[in-house]
Structure 1
Amino acid sequence: MRVNSGSMGKEKGGFFWDSSVCSSRGSSSCSSSKGDEFESEEEEEEEEEEIDEEEVGAPSFSVLPDRWDVLGLGQAMVDFSGMVDDEFLERLGLEKGTRKVVYHEERGRVLRAMDGCSYKAAAGGSLSNSLVALARLGYKPIGGPALNVAMAGSVGSDPLGGFYRSKLHRANVNFLSESIKDGTTGTVIVLTTPDAQRTMLSYQGTSSTINYDSCLAGIVSKTNIFVVEGYLFELPDTIKTIIRACEEARRTRALVAVTASDVSCIERHYDDFWEIVGNYADIVFANSDEARALCHFSSKESPISATRYLSHFVPLVSVTDGPRGSYIGEKGEAVYIPPSPCVPLDTCGAGDAYASGILYGILRGVSDLKCLGTLAARIAATVVGQQGTRLRVQDAVDLAESFAFNLESSSVGTDVGSDHISSL
């Protein structure tokens, strides 16, 4: 892995718990009184979370740091989540359990139909989940200084763009990209029926366009680890932006990490994925199905085989396999990481949390692969054992404190670079 020497080291998966209530209730096709109670619980939980963030002393971004420990490039989407019944879906002609791309008019029609329902909004996305977890793990100078975490992407100058930026900022993640004038921010509407099936409507807005400009080049050049969200490969011409950003990361000796994101996305954009994975990636994050898709393996192949194969091309490979555990691969070999014990409540966000643990371990100088994976597995288990996709503030602080003794004995210094990974 390539990182500027001296810039870091020892001294240095229910959806949307972090949300705001966006409407009152009242429609029989939407949430019932049970949903109203749930909404009140969410509001109370958010108030407690805000207090916790103040207590741990999240640094202000009124003055930007000279360097970013991690910069993520991904889709900036606001998630709207609500409970509806089957009649609601039938009335709008929506097929239950599917995901579809919608345009401005259909999005407006669905949101108008939800008026009077109980629903919530959140700065959503897989990448933002990982970045928020990482920022919360790094709030306090435990094992090193507080971490500087940022995201780049595309939001409009509309109220939703301001909402997204504000939500991330409150979670100690700075959204660095300028708003697109007169642009519209992308949204995902998640409609959950009583049988727990989710129907998802995605509106791209300006998030479908991410251009490589002097602003993006400048922040990439001041980054230690640059993370590319795999969902970006779905966007037209974005591969050009990704390549140029990865080239800048290489030039400035930053690490490049890629999240696989989705099997169907990999299958549709296989060559583009390998253009980045094969030429630029220092780290790849995938689940077992995504890893097999990257390898063109059948479902009969084991996750450890896919991990070993990928590690011939990428210095560090992280593959999760749900309740069966995970694997960390390097140089054609793989280390098995048993799952961390927990009582599962919600698996949404588990992989995002695991990725944050790997990044946190690297930034804190953890050199042992087993230790690195165990750290990530504990963080993932914490998220699986709660309702909501994001690591809570106090849980993050507790986890960071429990890992401190491992960091003190780590043999890795401040230069966590490509040579280090290849020598593991």
Structure 2
Amino acid sequence: MGRVLGVGPKKKKSSGELPIHYGNGRPSLSAQEDRKQTHRKRERGHREKRGRSGGSIGWMRKPPPPPPPPPPPALSHSILPHKFLSINPSSSVCCSSFGFSTKSPRPFGKLLRLSSSSSCGHCFEADDESSDDDEQQQLQQQQLPTHQYDAAFASSSLLPPDRWDVLGLGQAMVDFSGVVDDKFLEKLELDKGTRKVVNHEERGRVLRAMDGCSYKAAAGGSLSNSLVALARLGSTHIGGPPLNVAMAGSVGSDPLGGFYREKLRRANVHFLSAPIKDGTTGTVIVLTTPDAQRTMLAYQGTSSTINFDPCLASMISTTRILVVEGYLFELPDTIKTITRACEEACRSGSLVAVTASDVSCIERHYDEFWDIVGNYADVVFANSDEARALCDFSPKESPVAATRYLSHFVPLVSVTDGPRGSYIGVKGEAVYIPPSPCVPVDTCGAGDAYASGILYGILRGVSDLKGMGTLASRIAATVVGQQGTRLSVQDAVKLAKSFAFHIDSSSIQSDVGSDHISSY
């Protein structure tokens, strides 16, 4: 039967069964005795969460009803719960709603062999002719007035702001991406199109094979893509004051760690964690074959574990939204940090957002995911496959069914479904967001860009889910229509201006704080 106390579904035992068996809301008599203590602990956690939510969200004490059938194509707009609007009460758009219808290449480099004292025997050095990164070039081309873009914000020499709008907690890894042929993969005995975790020796073997090859390097990671896009959307006074965006993670004191921190700093994202002495920074090697298939090799580095300390607690206590990257669940020693970080966010009145990240990651750490999602999460970002994995649904279940189901446990659920559009779920209902038209060039990073749009809408005090989702869809379409995973400065400013214009000119007025959600 299903889990009680609103902490997510129980894993099904056979693929031929529906994931939830609905009964009278009580656990079966055959349940193991040692699960009782866990249920009592989760019940206490939910009582605390209901207390901090102000009653705006009705938390489930028994499994929700069976997933309803998919909605009709045309769906009406819904209202964001009052809880989310309260994080930005001074925003000029808090009482407005809206419904509008509406890269440069990363630097190249070479792999340089270092002395035997180097941790991996190789280091990144950008080519001289492209040492200025794409973010800096775009800022110069944009030539924004000083009152619109505060360049001093990106300077690490200045004191950080008193409060962060978003703090991301995630893996800090440098991406190396290059184009190879099938023979290269065969020589290294790599399966094309797979993603695997490698150790220090395996990474060194691949890097040595790439020695002298042309490739691109970037401060990578799903979370960093979202944070950079959000920082660029909120880099001006359009729609409100500039947004303060930061990230906490773990990097080593090696050159790659310095490269990662500098890249984020130039993109207006503060990296708040100090480098670990003598630690090595994690890397992801992305090998793309001519048929556009990607083979990824991830090395977590010796500095991959994120520890919870008073400094991190202080950062969390001064943020409006804490975003936890799902890939962190792959690090066993970091799961405790995730729990303590979410507890601190709850005590501070901050919202907690969780990215699902990867289906296989969810399957490997299903219970750990639900301990966080069921007890702390206010927002969950997932694609359709990840949403089904969280629900333990079969692949035949529709994305809207997964969205509706998850929204019984989480106040706001965002589920993307590729070119078919996306859904935003609240209180058992799902709002359909049609896809924005574009000519796809590179789909990598689309979900990260979409998440930045949802976060931007929440921080700007927008209440209409349909309009917020439409903005997120337009941001994702912009990234899909270009090479690379990062939203450019020029595109971000255009999207922010368009968003603010439609907020101001909209004739739709929402009942802000209303618990009404459209039914269909």
Give me the TM-score of the superposition, normalised by structure 2.
0.73
Note the alpha carbon deviations across 1:334-379, whole angstroms, 9 max, x for none: 1101001111111111110000000000111110111111111111
Distance 1:94 1:19 in 2: 26
Offset of residue 88 of structure 1 = 1.9
Q: How does 1:66-85 map to 2 (within 5 A)?
A: 66-85=162-181
Q: Is the contact between residue 139 and residue 489 of structure 2 (CA under 8 Å) also seen in structure 1?
A: no
Change (3 A) 1:5 1:328: closer
Q: Is the contact between residue 154 and residue 210 of structure 1 (CA under 8 Å) also seen in structure 2?
A: yes
SS of match in other structure, 1:293:
helix
Which piece of structure 1 moves more, 403-412 or 206-215? 403-412
Give me the TM-score of the superposition, normalised by structure 1.
0.89
Question: What's 1:370 paired with?
Answer: 466
2:232 is the counterpart of 1:136: yes
Distance 1:328 1:211 in 2: 33
1:60 to 143, 147, 154: 154
Question: What's 2:92 paired with?
Answer: 10
Offset of residue 51 of structure 1 = 2.1
Distance 1:205 1:330 in 2: 39
Offset of residue 393 of structure 1 = 0.5
Change (3 A) 1:345 1:388: same
Question: What's 1:202 paired with?
Answer: 298
Q: Is the contact between residue 225 and residue 445 of structure 2 (CA under 8 Å) also seen in structure 1?
A: yes
Task: Give the alignment's Cα RMSD to 1 decimal.
Answer: 2.6
Q: How does 1:1-150 map to 2 (within 5 A)?
A: 1=83, 9-10=91-92, 19-23=106-110, 48-52=137-141, 55=144, 56-58=149-151, 59-61=153-155, 62-150=158-246
2:402 is the counterpart of 1:306: yes
Q: Output the amino acid matched with 1:252.
A: S
Give the number of aligned pairs: 403
SS of match in other structure, 2:302:
helix
Note the alpha carbon deviations across 1:227-246, whole angstroms, 9 max, x for none: 00011111112211001000
Offset of residue 261 of structure 1 = 0.6
Q: Which runs of 5+ in 2 are unaligned?
A: 1-82, 95-102, 113-128
1:391 to 476, 484, 487: 487
Note the alpha carbon deviations across 1:74-116, whole angstroms, 9 max, x for none: 0000000111122222222222222221111221221122111
Distance 1:314 1:257 in 2: 10
Note the alpha carbon deviations across 1:263-307, whole angstroms, 9 max, x for none: 111111111111111110100001011111111111111111110
Q: Is the contact between residue 365 and residue 407 of structure 1 (CA under 8 Å) also seen in structure 2?
A: no
Distance 2:500 2:473 in 1: 16
1:289 to 385, 396, 418: 385
Question: What's 1:31 paired with?
Answer: none
SS of match in other structure, 1:199:
strand
Change (3 A) 1:401 1:82: same
Distance 2:137 2:110 in 1: 21
1:336 to 422, 428, 432: 432
Distance 1:17 1:232 in 2: 30
Q: Output the amino acid matched with 1:51.
A: Q
Q: How does 1:160-239 map to 2 (within 5 A)?
A: 160-239=256-335
Note the alpha carbon deviations across 1:145-183, whole angstroms, 9 max, x for none: 010000001000111000000000100000001111110
Change (3 A) 1:220 1:44: closer
Q: Is the contact between residue 2 and residue 254 of structure 1 (CA under 8 Å) also seen in structure 2?
A: no
Question: What's 1:28 paired with?
Answer: none
More helix by share: 1
Q: Is the contact between residue 3 and residue 255 of structure 1 (CA under 8 Å) also seen in structure 2?
A: no
- Residue identity over aligned pairs, in percent, reads 75
2:240 is the counterpart of 1:158: no
Note the alpha carbon deviations across 1:302-347, whole angstroms, 9 max, x for none: 1111100000111101000000000011010011010011111111
Q: Is the contact between residue 306 and residue 337 of structure 2 (CA under 8 Å) also seen in structure 1?
A: yes
SS of match in other structure, 2:110:
coil
SS of match in other structure, 2:225:
helix
Question: What's 1:277 paired with?
Answer: 373
Change (3 A) 1:134 1:313: same
Offset of residue 192 of structure 1 = 1.2
Distance 2:300 2:90 in 1: 36
SS of match in other structure, 1:403:
helix
Q: Is the contact between residue 81 and residue 120 of structure 1 (CA under 8 Å) also seen in structure 2?
A: yes
Change (3 A) 1:422 1:349: farther
Distance 1:152 1:229 in 2: 11
Which piece of structure 1 moves more, 343-352 or 90-99? 90-99
